[in-house]
Structure 1
């Protein structure tokens, strides 16, 4: 766990819960203003095709939204700056409205086959894509999707944490399944050809 994440997450209430259940709590060390994302985090982010984003509404209720797109649609724009395009959807704009009132967000990125997860805490802002066409071009996952972009989310990452894989159930996309069964399909085709040759 990065130092800043520890400092932000270990509130007195969390430490009291640790005392109650474990008889001791983690002690917060001095932390930098932000934990710099390393090459490991940046590489992981660049290969995700989905993530979850948590925001808080004006009444303090948390809201979690799934974001998906082509691998790499969550783009690294700077050392601790991430961005993604927000497309035309159901018109609820819950995350957009929440960020206007409270810019704190949490991103939860999963790699189910690799049984890895990365949590990122940061501050977000939402821009109108019509007012920032060059940034919209940069954040568009594909040229075909450019016309559907309405808003742009920028997330200034403050800290991050990697979780252990203990309870992550492996899940696979269609492309990942195809890649894994390709050798089996090739072998099956080879055996079928052998059978056909003998029968002929």
Structure 2
């Protein structure tokens, strides 16, 4: 349920525009749901299957900043309840997200599943951590990147979006997996043709 998510993000301006567009009544019913959006197994499984996401924070001057985060599938994971986290791998050393969170801990995350045209949006309060235990708990064994810190996010709300306007995109591994039966069949047919030519 997205009650907390909607109630938190719908300000007076958005509600007024919804009223004018005729969608306010439906959203008001959704907002009137449970007080807390609890991450369930569906959300935890979706989060754990991602190998990247986008995280927005706000600078001290009020400018929004969106950063792409990537790693092996499962590098972002639910720790417990509504708490998620990930290891922050060394990057370009601009430290924009880290600095932003020191001033304002609010974040918004977009998690995309392009092949299946699904997306999960989350909002919450984030903190960076240098605690070796938290870093070790969130590190991905075998992943070669250096971990600088951990990010821990207490999710306050989330919402699933409809697939409208999400263009399906596929990774190299997904394309390879889908095409492998055809590649195998071509190799089998070539071998058969070569065998027939050899005996003709």
Taking structure 1 as the reference length, the TM-score comes to 0.92
Say which of 83, 87, 95 aligns to 1:93.
95
Paired position in structure 2 for 1:47 = 49
Kindly report which structure 2 residues correspond to 1:39-188, keeping only aligned pairs within 5 A, or say none. Answer: 39-128=41-130, 132-145=131-144, 148-188=146-186
1:30, distance to aligned residue in structure 2 (A): 5.5
Asked if 1:17 corresponds to 2:17, the answer is yes
- The answer on whether the counterparts of 1:7 and 1:31 sit within 8 Å (CA) in structure 2 is no
Runs of 4+ more than 3 Å apart? 143-146
- The answer on whether the counterparts of 2:126 and 2:154 sit within 8 Å (CA) in structure 1 is yes
1:2, distance to aligned residue in structure 2 (A): 1.3
- The answer on whether the counterparts of 2:111 and 2:121 sit within 8 Å (CA) in structure 1 is yes
- The answer on whether the counterparts of 1:118 and 1:160 sit within 8 Å (CA) in structure 2 is yes
In structure 1, runs of 5+ residues without a counterpart are none
Distance 1:140 1:104 in 2: 23
- The answer on whether the counterparts of 2:44 and 2:77 sit within 8 Å (CA) in structure 1 is no
Would the alpha carbon gap of residues 195 and 60 (structure 1) be closer, same or farther in structure 2, given more than 3 Å must change? same
